[in-house]
Amino acid sequence: MILNQNPHTLTVEELAAALKSHPTEGLAQAEAEARLRQTGRNTLSEEKKEPFWKEFFEELREPMVLMLLVTGILYAIWGEISDAIIILVIILTLNTVEVVNEQHSKKAIASLHKLAEPTTSVRRDGHFQEIPVEQVAPGDLVLLQDGHRVPADARLVEAFGLSVDESALTGESLPVEKSTDTIQDPAIPLAERHNMVYSSTLVTRGKGTALVVATGMDTEIGRIAGLARQVKEPRTTLQNMMEELSKVLVWFALGFSVLVPLVGILFAHQPVKQMLLTGLSLAFATIPEELPIIITMVLSLGAFRLSKKHAIAKRLSGVESLGSVTVIATDKTGTLTENRMEAARFEPLEAKGHLLEIGIFCNDAVPDGTDFTGDAVDTALLRAARKSGWDVPAERNTHPILNEFTFDNTRNCMSTISLKNGKPWAAVKGAPESVLMRCTQILKGGKIETLTDTSRQGILELVSHMAAEGLRVLAFAERTLSNENLDQEEIERNLTFVGLVGFQDPPRPEVKDAIATCQRAGVRTIMITGDHPLTALAIGKQVGLNGEHAVITGPELDRLTDDELKEVVQQVSIFARTTPEQKLRIVQILQALGERVAVTGDGVNDAPALAAADIGVAMGETGTDVAREAGALVLTDDNFTTIVSAVEEGRLIFENLKKGVRYYLTCKLALVLINLLPTLLLVPIPFAPVQIILMELFMDLMAAASFVIEKPESDLLDQKPRDSQAKFMDKAMISSIFTSSLGLFAAVTVVYLITWYGTSNLATSQTVAFFAWLIGHVLLAFNMRSERQPIFQLGFGSNRMMLLWAAGVAVFLLVVSIFPGAQQLMKITTLKDAQWGMILGATFVGTFWLEVKKMLTYKK
């Protein structure tokens, strides 16, 4: 829907009529959905999804696949038509697996982007509701809030102290003050259209409502930019490292693939054609080209699994770093507590009605059906007022708010101006210290008196007493003004103190156990809040936060040098009355001490700390768009326990990644050794080329799927956080690869050489080696599912994907053992019972000998 007239030249009523909308009620849900079908979703562009067939043929152009195709062509030319057909089938199977895995990864990441998209509040069917930005339709009435992006081009209906950063659109560096006044000039520059707000700009102060006039590509930003909405996911450190490792290992594999055929031809006098095909097959099977793919898949599917636990990883680098977190710096309200505020105490009690009157007007919450929506404290005040008999909507309609100066962390208060008894009246609420310093008078028994230092001290002592009871305390003040056009500083001086309200926000019942779990996992939790020190201390004690010193306040923190603060942050777990700058400083000091810090935040002022943190955790329910953009992780439930679950999941993802890569490289190294030793002994190699190619199929399926879904070992959270600076391929992992590969190498090589030297029958010997490999590398996978916990404790059947893969290998073995046609295709023969017994015994001993070590060393 595109208006023929310039919306900034229309009055609100004219615009609403043109849009067939309502200036205060917006659209009905059914009408909004109909308009979405007509105009399309509110996005700049839709991501084009590549069809399966196109990705399939793109995958066929990969160098390793082309090498396999060359091998198949040579087979066909040299008369091995059946082998050529098998290779073609394997190509199609491998290609399909790769494309399906890649599509699963893309789908997982796409789902996360969808979940992490910003939302906006629109009024539909008579009440405000939170919807994804892409579902905003022309004619919607949107709620504009401090710290949130404007979801679409819109004409202002209401504006209270509203200013918008339009630098992304106009290049104007300073925020633009907004008003609802109609502009007569249709040709006025966009930067001067003060009654309009535009898509993707940022509300920096105040609030308001606006009618949407354009969405998607019809917006100003859409017409100017026309850029794709989707940004390509940057490669993580681990992905880059694996790509480099792959390049190194490629040369090793190629050298081995050339060495074996040369030795076979020159010294063992093997057929040239056979050795050439063997070399090509070995190159295909041993080059670790799938390493970066495995890592991308594990990270992306791990991120998708995180989303099921209410934690949305916006970047794969965040998933990679989760397991190394050593400190969680969390705020209090809504994260450690339930964010379910109740006005529990009024001081003095006789001023309750007066306090609630101020609370009705100095308030950003709005009616939403039978309840209210907005900040927890604001909604608590409105609920208390309604319970006391106030008709909140009627009061606001009778005394409309003329101007508003929203809360910020510098003033620590907010104020509004409305008409009372025909005169401009300022209502103020905020932190007691900040409000009291602006007061010169006090209301006592209905009379106004001078606020003395003694009275001021008495009020602060009462605040401390209320805070010690776990109450969040706000002070309320007022002032009758000479006129409504005063600036903020003039309005917020010479105030009359009215009283205090104590709000109760109980801690979430599950948080105490979650913090204890963190301590057991070597992850320290600290609270950084702007709340009163005694309130923070009361909540901290209830959830189990302890330190050598009870609490440090922001002003106390400012008096410390960096060296002194380094000592303090190692002892103190609760920081109160902190500013965003102080929160950032704490994070940076912790990082200077070598800690890996996860930081929670929800506001614009939290963005610096979120961006500086190793893992920025933005609140999804109460967080601003700026906070969500700065964070690497978004919590959809704003719950501390979700952070703990995310850390645990991050550890599991990294462990499974190491297990998958370790198994993958172990199989590659074992395959190299199994073929190298017979070559050096001048005997035929243990596998026919077609068998080597088939083995790669089984290895790929294993490495690409089963380890991704492996469940955690029971002592996962008893381990210390991993060192983020440690190498992925550390000494322990390299040692494990070599020892594990030696077991598989020994099992296959022993049964092969015994059979060869005992029978001199190549078909039988290769059959024994082939079957030993298939059984051995399956048993090895089960063994490598755990690093510490014995498999019988972990549960032999707990990984269903691995069981399915093992069953597939068993069915394959059964088919090729029974049917002569299959034996001919696979270049194998029938084995005797004694040979089967030798295979089973050797592979079990060669792969499960490490289980003995686990059983002796595991403690839980």
Q: Report the Cα 753 to chain-centroid distance in Å.
A: 52
Catalytic residue among 331, 375, 378, 531: 331
What are the residues facing 503 on neighbouring strands?
343, 472
User: Quick one: CA torsion of 524, 528, 533, 536, rounded to 10 degrees?
Assistant: -60
**AA identity, residue 516:** A
Q: Output the six-digit token pair for 825.
A: 């295709």
**What is the C-alpha separation between 147 and 207, in angstroms, rounded?**
10
| Cα 448 from chain centroid (whole Å) | 54
DSSP 8-state symbol, 113: H
- Give the start-end residues of each E strand in 614-770: 615-619, 633-635
**How crowded is the C-beta side of 823, counted as CA atoms within 13 Å?**
14
Contact status, residue 799 vs residue 778, Cβ threshold 8 Å: no
Comparing CA positions, the residue from 134, 42, 57, 132 lying closest to residue 91 is 57
Phi then psi for 261, rounded to 5 degrees? -60, -40
Question: Where does residue 788 fall: left (phi above 0), alpha (psi -120 to 50 degrees), or beta otherwise?
Answer: alpha
Whether cis (ω within 30° of 0) applies to the bond prior to 348 is: yes
Spell out the residues 6+ positions from residue 37 whose beta carbon is closer than 8 angstroms to its own: none
Maximum pairwise Cα distance, the chain: 113
From residue 257, give the alpha-carbon distance in Å to each of 76, 525, 675.
21, 53, 10
What's the length of the chain?
Answer: 860
In terms of Cα–Cα distance, which of 637, 641, 660 is closest to 649?
641
Do the strands 633-635 and 311-313 form a parallel or antiparallel pair, or are they unpaired? antiparallel
> Active-site residue 331, yes or no?
yes
Question: What is the rounded distance in angstroms from the CA atom of residue 455 to the CA atom of residue 279?
Answer: 92
Tokens 């001078």 map to which residue?
Answer: 450
DSSP 227-265: --S--PPPPPHHHHHHHHHHHHHHHHHHHHHHHHHHHHH
d(C-alpha 19, C-alpha 327), whole Å:
52
**Residue 770, by phi and psi: left (phi above 0), alpha (psi -120 to 50) or beta?**
alpha
The pair of structure tokens assigned to 329 is: 């710096």
The one-character DSSP state at 621 is S
Alpha-carbon gap, residue 720 to 732, rounded angstroms: 16
CB of 471 closer than 8 Å to CB of 478: no
Q: Where are the beta strands (DSSP E) in 453-538?
A: 471-480, 495-504, 524-528
Yes or no: say if 462 and 499 are a contact pair by the CB < 8 Å rule.
Answer: no
Count of other CB atoms within 10 angstroms of residue 476: 28
DSSP state at residue 729 = S
The catalytic residue positions are 331
